[in-house]
Amino acid sequence: MLELAAGMIIGRFAQTGSFDARVLQNDFHPFLGWEHPRNAVLDATKPGAAPSQIHTDAKGRSITPLAFVKPRLTLVVTGGSTMFGVGSSDNSTTVPSLLEKQPVVLNPMGYLRQVSSLADLVARVVLRVTSATAPAQDGGEGPPTRADTSNVLARALFSAEHYAAMKAMTELQGGRFHMVLQPTAYTLPDFDLSRLTDRPIAAHQAQKTYENAFYQSLSIYLGRLGGIDLSHGLDDDPGESYVDNYHYTDEGANRLAGRILDALEPEIARLAREKAQ
């Protein structure tokens, strides 16, 4: 009876996602932001897309399938839902996991250096992937239908200050920091907004106007933050890359991982030379 009672209690309160179909709640940390349930299976399916489930580890992080006891290079990927894996089929097709699978660079000894996206703050490289914040409301009900860009410069400076703090903390640990502007449907020059049916087209147009203004303002600080501008990194194939305005298909995530790796290759090669000396 004691075991039965214990099982019922665990099934009611444990954040594993394996006992029933209840909604798992994210926890808000005052410094870290929103944290996902630990050791859970989360439904990351987007409307109209194929079913998607993302597994989290004991710290609520999206798991990358490959495991390396002593990785030659550690790549920490931080970001929002796009990096977590919303839109991806499963953990193996998220951007961090696809980065992990890429052959990177041969060191002078001829051994392959392999990327691991173990989420450890003491890392060789920290990659910050950011997307624009939402536009200010225009005072009406529902989503905004016009973009108020009056606060764009202030928001860009606010964001840049946070990234500068991340860069400083990373470098104190001997790592390298890169802030990457990621592509979205709104950064596409000719994206058909009528494909997005969750809100009126005018609301998406307002979002597009605001986001591009925000990216333009934030790009002022790229040089100071080891910035990499990939906001147009998927322009050549928008139809197969997005499941909605932000999130990527498996193909889109794979192509973005390749673009990120191309941008980081000089840094990785330099790290390889330093270690070989």
84 vs 64: CA distance, rounded Å: 10
CATH class of 64-276: alpha beta
Beta bridge partners of 34: 28
The reply to whether the predicted model has a pTM over 0.85 is no
Strand intervals (E) in the chain: 27-29, 33-35, 41-43, 53-55, 73-78, 103-106, 112-116, 125-130, 176-181, 228-229
- Asked if 91 and 85 count as a contact pair (C-beta separation under 8 A), the reply is yes
Give 144-185 pLDDT, tens digit per residue: 667 788 899 999 999 999 899 989 998 998 888 999 999 999
pLDDT one-digit tens code per residue, 252-266? 999 999 999 999 888
Residue 247 in contact with residue 189, Cβ under 8 Å? no
pLDDT higher than 70, residue 133: no
**Residue type for 253, please?**
A
